[in-house]
Structure 1
Amino acid sequence: MKTKTTTLLVIGGGPGGYVAAIRAGQLGVPTVLVEGDRLGGTCLNIGCIPSKALIHVADEFARACHFSNGNALGIHVEKPAIDLAQAQAWKDGVVGKLTGGVGALLRKNGVQVVKGWARIVDGKTVEVAVQEGEPLRIQCEHLLLATGSVPVSLPHLPIGGNVVSSTEALALTHKPKHLVVVGAGYIGLELGIAWRKLGAEVAVVEAAATVLPTYDEELTKPVLASLRKLGITLHLNTKAEGLTDSGGLRVRSSNADEFVLPADKVLVAVGRVPRTAGFGLESLQLDMAGRAVKVDEQCRTSMRNVWAIGDLAGEPMLAHRAMAQGEMVAEIVAGKKRRFAPLAIPAVCFTDPELVVAGLSPAEAEARGIEVTVASFPFGANGRALSMEGGEGFVRVVARRETQQVLGWQAVGKGVSELSAAFCYAIEMGARLEDVGSIIHAHPTLGEAVQETALRALGHALHI
């Protein structure tokens, strides 16, 4: 077996792993990255990027369908059709461009990429079953674990045949007639909405009493209204029991009623768990935090010079969190002083309408015993939103009552994902309501709603 030595060895080429490797390379740290599948991990290949591409296709097709009927804008087109195979090819092209770019950046910064499956021998040694050639043993000074997460499986609905995960749901080249989505979290709703806009009949089964159960009811109310407007059937307080012999999905509601939903495809989207199996993690006997690897504020594990980032280190399972952690670890390995202590990690649901949160919600602030001022501003009073036929939703701010320091933002509405950076700037830079309210915001933009929300919290909003 060949042996290679390096300073930093990264297992996993997803957002956290490849960013760590690039940054380490920039800082002159000898780095090897091992990836058994494709660079970019779940996010670039079968998650964030292809799902947003499919959502874009669905939105454009729905818009064309809208214009083929009567509409207030006076635009008329012939009844549209869609070639799903061509749409999937375009989506795959977007993915290929980005993953190819990752590979180029790694090469540019001197990172050696080993294509193969790693298995940990100890905290300094990893053996790799390479895709081409003989096995390789890599010895390192620092071991960074960035193995990501995997979808939660349901024993009574194993993936296969008509039961699919988000991976398969993103790659369908034929529209399902009846799609049943098990799980009303952001993954299930994003894909359910997309396929509904592409013409499928969609039903959503959720064990909780509401959609997006981790968010408060005020935020999810516009999403719930949109789901009903789109014609998506909701079965809340309902559990999936399994497939019938005829291919339908048997479900049971909280009042014990059992019925069957027609389903030629069943999408199981009930969450994700850290990927801890299949690469010898157990040999390190690391401290765990539930299913995740326990880390400190520098992403150090319980073993010296072994680090864990991203989904493997638990919630929130967000690509941008993994990227920030990977960059930090690379800088610590290079001798810089860093710690991971963000005040805000934004989370976005690319539903219709979109939903974004950053920092503390009113309930979270109350749970911490913080007295806060809470105010919101409706997009129905925002010129840009109305000019895009997007007057639903609002922006909400949470500020410490005594000092007016901004602690959190939430928003729901068309295009609000693009407000997430402004939300985080305000929180991380310690802005007060007066700071946000006194900044001149371009007109007409959605950002004006951020300013107006701060002004309303101060008691003098201008346009409501």
Structure 2
Amino acid sequence: MTMETTTLLIIGGGPGGYVAAIRAGQLGIKTVLVEGGQLGGTCLNVGCIPSKALIHAAEEFHKATHYAGEGGAESALGIRTAAPSIDITRTVAWKEGIVKRLTGGVGALLKKNGVQVVRGWARILDGKTVEVTGAEGGGTGAANDAGGQTTRIRCEHLLLATGSEAVELPFLPFGGNVVSATEALSPETLPGHLVVVGAGYIGLELGTAYRKLGARVTVVEAAGRVLPAYDDELARPVAARLRALGVDLHLESSVLGLSEDGKSVRMKNGGGEEVAIDADRVLVAVGRRPRTSGFGLESLMLDMNGRAVRIDNQCRTSMRNVWAIGDLTGEPMLAHRAMAQGEMVAEIIAGKRRHFMPAAIPAVCFTDPEVVVVGLTPQDAAKQGLDCISASFPYAANGRAMTIEGTEGFVRVVARKDNHLIVGWQAVGSAVAELSTAFVQSIELGAQLEDIGGTIHAHPTLGEAVQEAALRALGHALHI
């Protein structure tokens, strides 16, 4: 066993952990990062990045199929192509190439900033001591591969960034043809029929992608509509698009398990009837939970919020100099939240005065169409007792949306009635994810409706819908 000491020890090399390590290195803090898998965590390896790559590939294939006149349809653009085909093995290899470039870049940045990366599995002994059992083989180009030996590391500050894991249903355990998003993102073959359990953003993103790749897709959801965490106005265009794509939706339905032969899913539908749905593959996407087991977290006896580690607005836990960030601390489980928290913790350890008090954190669903929520919805504002005005501008009245055949959807603004301070934005439509930066900046900078309405927006762009929504809230939209 080897012994080491450091100022900051980080467990977990996902977005939160690696950003904290890079910033700590920049600030001259001696830092060790422990990661048992690949740098980049769920987000870079089996989440955000690969899912968006697969979604893009599926969309391109779907367009080509459309232009080939699928079902005798004619393209309004006058484009005709031969019937396309897809080599899913090459698609997955392309996606893996993107992942490799990004994770390699993370490794290079860690090395550049003097961070020591220890490849292995950590176990907490106490708030100052961690034991790492080295992972055999692997390596990231910037890692110190522990090579199977055990290393004990003493630290002044311990940062927990272990992320989250997919929720497994006891009556539908992972294995065989029952998969999580991780396996769904690296398919060796495309299933004839994919059954998706859960109509949240993960299930719908991947279900839509598989449908566009040519699989038959059925979605089973216990709630009465898709995207139950979002308001109905935002979810409605997504549901309509799913039906237009031919996705079968079973709402107010519950999965009971697999049939004895494992070839179908047993389900109780909204009418209370028990039915069976044939399935070549089943994607369980019912949520994620903080990863709290397997690394000795219980030895610290930290205060918890359910399964999540409780933190204050500086990401401090109930134990002095033990910090926690990202999915481990509960909702919202978003990579960009973890990144911002990690950067802040490094700066606090370096002596800077920081608190994690963002005015808003954007959430994006890369469904078809995309959905963005930033700040308060009209319903949220009402619950908080705020007297607000809200206004929507439809994509159908936006020239750029017309030119990209994306007229479904709208941009909505929520602002205080007394001073017109903007407190929220929501949008659904083509490429609205790219508007999220403008939304969150306006709230963070304390913009009023007049600020957005009086800002000259480039024409023709989707961003004009942002200006028009603000103008409409003021009572004088120009293009509707």
* TM-score interval, smaller chain: over 0.9
The AA in structure 1 aligned to 2:438 is A
Query: Tell me, which stretches of 5 or more residues in structure 2 are unaligned?
Result: 136-146
- Residues 217-243 of structure 1, C-alpha deviations (whole Å, 9 max, x = no match): 011110010000000000000000011
Matched, 1:280 2:296: yes
Match of 2:363 in 1: 347
2 CA distance for matches of 1:217 and 1:9?
Answer: 44
Q: CA deviation at 1:134?
A: 1.9
Rounded to whole Å, the distance in 2 between the matches of 1:164 and 1:392 is 32
Q: Does 1:81 align with 2:88?
A: no
Q: Find the counterpart in structure 2 of residue 210 from structure 1.
A: 225
Q: Does 1:149 align with 2:164?
A: yes
User: Which residue does the alignment assign to 2:133?
Assistant: 129
Are residues 1:106 and 2:106 paired?
no
Map residues 395-410 of structure 1 onto 2, 5 A cutoff: 395-410=411-426
After superposition, residues 242-261 of structure 1 pair within 5 angstroms as: 242-246=257-261, 247-261=263-277
Distance (Å, rounded) in 2 between the aligned partners of 1:175 and 1:308: 39
- Alpha-carbon deviation of 1:256? 1.5
1:374 has 2:390 as partner: yes
Show CA shifts across 1:337-396 (max 9, x none).
000001110000000000000000111100000000010000000000100000000000
**Residues 1:390 and 2:406 aligned together:** yes
SS at structure 1 position matched to 2:228: coil
2:255 maps to what in 1? Answer: 240
Q: The residue matched to 2:353 in structure 1 has which SS? A: coil
Alpha-carbon distance in 2 for matches of 1:424, 1:362: 16
Letter in 2 for 1:108: K
Q: 1:158 aligns with which of 173, 176, 188?
A: 173
| TM norm structure 1 | 1.00
Which residue identity lines up with residue 68 of structure 1 in the other structure? A
- 1:34 aligned residue: 34
Structure 1 position 133, deviation (Å): 4.2
Partners of 1:34 and 1:442 in 2: CA distance = 46
Distance in structure 1 (CA, Å) of the matches to 2:213 and 2:153: 48
Distance 2:361 2:156 in 1: 30
91, 95, 117: which is aligned to 1:91?
A: 95
Q: Provide the rounded CA distance (Å) in 2 between the counterparts of 1:87 and 1:162.
A: 21
Q: Secondary structure at the match of 1:212?
A: coil
How far 1:130 sits from its partner (Å)?
Answer: 1.0
Q: How many residues align?
A: 464
Residues in 2 aligned to 1:362 and 1:72: alpha-carbon distance in whole angstroms:
37
Q: Which runs of structure 2 are paired with 1:298-447 in the superposition (5 Å)? A: 298-447=314-463
Q: Work out whether 1:15 is the aligned partner of 2:15.
A: yes
SS of the equivalent of 1:343 reads coil
Instruction: Indicate the residue corresponding to 2:280 in structure 1.
Output: 264
- Tell which deviates more after alignment, 369-378 or 131-140: 131-140
CA offsets, 1:114-151, max 9 Å, x none?
00000000000000001204200000000000000000
CA RMSD of aligned residues (A): 0.5
Q: 2: CA distance between counterparts of 1:442 and 1:390? A: 18
- Displacement of 1:245 in angstroms is 2.4
Give distance in 1, aligned partners of 2:44 and 2:362.
19
Shift of 1:253: 1.8
- Measure how far apart 1:254 and its partner are: 3.6
Match of 1:182 among 197, 216, 238: 197
Determine if the alignment matches structure 1 residue 225 to structure 2 residue 229.
no
Distance across 2 between alignment mates of 1:330 and 1:400? 35
The secondary structure found in structure 1 opposite 2:183 is helix
3-state SS of paired residue (1:391)? coil
Q: C-alpha deviations, 1:59-113, integer Å up to 9, x for none?
A: 0000100110111100111000000000000000000000000000000000000
Identity among equivalent positions (%) equals 69
- Shift of residue 446, structure 1, vs aligned partner: 0.5
In 1, the alpha carbon distance for the partners of 2:447 and 2:118 equals 45
Corresponding residue for 2:472? 456
The alignment partner of 2:109 has SS state of helix
Instruction: Determine the C-alpha separation between the residues in 1 that align with 2:75 and 2:330.
Output: 46
Structure 1 residue identity aligned to 2:180: S
Of 91, 94, 119, 1:115 maps to 119
Q: Deviations over 1:173-202 (max 9, x none)?
A: 211001000000000000000000000000
Q: Which runs of 4+ in 1 moved over 3 A?
A: none
